[in-house]
Amino acid sequence: MLKIVKIGGKLIEDEDKFQSFLTDFAALKGPRILVHGGGNFATDMAQKLGYPIQMIDGRRITDENTLRIIIMTYGGLINKNIVAKLQAKGNNAIGLCGADGQSIISKRRVVKDIDFGFVGDIEEINTGFIASLLEQNIVPVFSAISSTREGELLNTNGDSVAAEIAKAMSLHYDTSLYYCFEKKGVLANAQDDGSVIEEMDRKKYEELLEKKVITEGILPKLHNCFQALEQGVSKIFLGDFQLLQPGVKHTKITN
């Protein structure tokens, strides 16, 4: 079973929770892949450098300066720190972005109503390259940066990176996808962290959407989840930094 785990930037900022998560991740048996973002790190760096942050409906506009900061923070500071910590925990990890081995090929997002700038939509995953690393017991650690065929680096949604890798690798492995973020799962009440919906299929998802129970922040995650299940991913789980521990309450997504 190949396990693909996406960790959110807010968890990375909390050193105690981050270390706990990495200990659990490092202890997993079998092939595994870690995907990370780090939006708040990029925002803090931009503010220190005096660059304005543009957000529309919660989504970042990536101009040239912002892209440079994302490459530095995601591909450098965060990625290499994660790799070093996993090496210290006995995992032979390697830090990657989409340009490495042409592993995540994307195209720049087409401008419709909003120009998001240097943002990539994924076209292809190089499964052969990724599989070759896994076969050597190497743990790939992907930052949320993809690359065009022409060699342009692009900011790419980390949840989408994890989902696209999971879908592509499911052709070769029995694959599970985990989203670790600041909540214990999908909540029936956004104000109550204990109101975790422990299992959700598409019918229940649509019912909760109609009742406006599901908040906008988690909608893109759930969209990625159901799309991944339809395209070969075996199991999907959502939860907090303890998600990889047995017996911890979380949300399981099913068809």
Please report, in range form, the residues annotated as the binding site. 38-39, 60, 155
Q: Give the residue from 204, 209, 200 showing the smallest Cα distance to 179.
A: 200
DSSP string, the chain: -EEEEEE-HHHHHSHHHHHHHHHHHHT--S-EEEEE--HHHHHHHHHHHTPPP-EETTEE-B-HHHHHHHHHIIIIIIHHHHHHHHHHTT--EEEE-TTGGG-EEEEEPPPSSS--BSBEEEEEE-HHHHHHHHHTT-EEEEESEEE-TTS-EEE--HHHHHHHHHHHHTTTS-EEEEEE-SSSSSBSSTT-TT-B--EE-HHHHHHHHHTT-S-GGGHHHHHHHHHHHHTT--EEEEESTTTTSTT---EEE--
* Phi-psi region at 101: left, alpha or beta (left = phi > 0; alpha = psi -120 to 50): left
Instruction: Indicate the annotated binding residues for substrate.
Output: 38-39, 60, 155
Residue with the two structure tokens 């973020």: 181
